[in-house]
Amino acid sequence: MGRTPRRSEVRTGRNTLVGCSIGLSLVLLSGAVGCSTDDGRRSIDVYAASSLADIMELVEDRYERDNPEVDLRMNLAGTNALVRQVNSGADASILVAADASFLDDLIYPTAAPPIPLATNELTLTVPVDNPAGIDGPEDLIDDDVLTARCATGVPCGDATDDYLAANGYAIGRSTEEANVRSVLTKVSAGEVDAGFVYRTDAAVTDAVIQIPLAGAPQVTVTMVQLDSERSTVDLARYLASDEVAELFEQLDFGPVGG
């Protein structure tokens, strides 16, 4: 069996022209690290968990405002999907995971140790009119109740599994979603009776009501730097700054170690 190629070797020649030819901030497929946009800005590909969509939008706006020569290109998906993409050779410069434990699955060396940025916790949500009359997780066992949850293997799905198992709860009927924002969308639209999301996701819409969970699992939002480009180092330093910590706090994330 041949050796596993280094990540830098996997990058060589893959989608470089495609990645460098687009100027979109939100991309679904990675481009090349260190390439430039049509307007001459330096692009940096940032892979971030779907649950971090709002904080990363603020980061993108502020960082590009203060660094007009930089174009941050955000790829948002479940942390497990992002790790798979990186392991397949995707040219991400920064990976921000919803749960630090998933970074253990990275198969390539990182350019710097992981840095915890904030914490989040699981909560139960229902549509604002709560048609099923859900009062807590004990009501989810009813076969007339449809609950949306993240699939096992996604950070919010694993947190849901841990919570249900630790407290002896069960779900009668459920849909399994690829990421937490898909769960939130279904609850907001009234397509399901309840859904497990992170507290900060529930806070972004008036279309759901939160039902706090006693002893809710916490996850640690964690950043890892995947290359040593100067522009990547500068961005990583900004993500770990007090300014970004304040943005996390404004969006109701908890502090690290708090």
How do residues 204-231 score in pLDDT, each as one tens digit? 999 999 999 999 999 999 999 999 999 9
Treating both helix axes as pointing N-terminal to C-terminal, what angle do 242-250 and 53-66 enclose, rounded to 10 degrees? 140
The pLDDT assigned to 7 comes to 44
Q: 3-class secondary structure for 74-89?
A: EEEECHHHHHHHHHCC
Same fold, 7-119+220-250 and 121-218: yes
Beta bridge mates, 136: none
pLDDT single digits (tens) 150-183: 999 999 999 999 999 999 999 999 999 999 999 9
CA distance 41 to 82: 25
The pLDDT assigned to 32 comes to 37
CATH number given to 7-119+220-250: 3.40.190.10
Is there a contact between 14 and 88 (Cβ–Cβ < 8 Å)?
no
Give the percent of the chain with pLDDT over 90. Answer: 83
Question: By mean pLDDT, which of 16-20, 57-61, 94-98, 114-118 is the weakest?
Answer: 16-20
CA distance 29 to 32: 10
The pLDDT assigned to 257 comes to 82
Q: How confident is the model at residue 11 (pLDDT cuts 50, 70, 90)?
A: very low
Q: Would you list the domain boundaries of the chain?
A: 7-119+220-250, 121-218
Torsions phi, psi for 24 (to 5 deg): -75, 145
Q: Which two tokens stand for residue 143?
A: 């076969």
Average pLDDT over residues 99-112: 95
Give the percent of the chain with pLDDT over 70. Answer: 85
Q: Per CATH, is 121-218 categorized as 3.40.190.10?
A: yes
Query: Quick one: which of 215, 221, 203, 212 has its CA closest to 257?
Result: 221
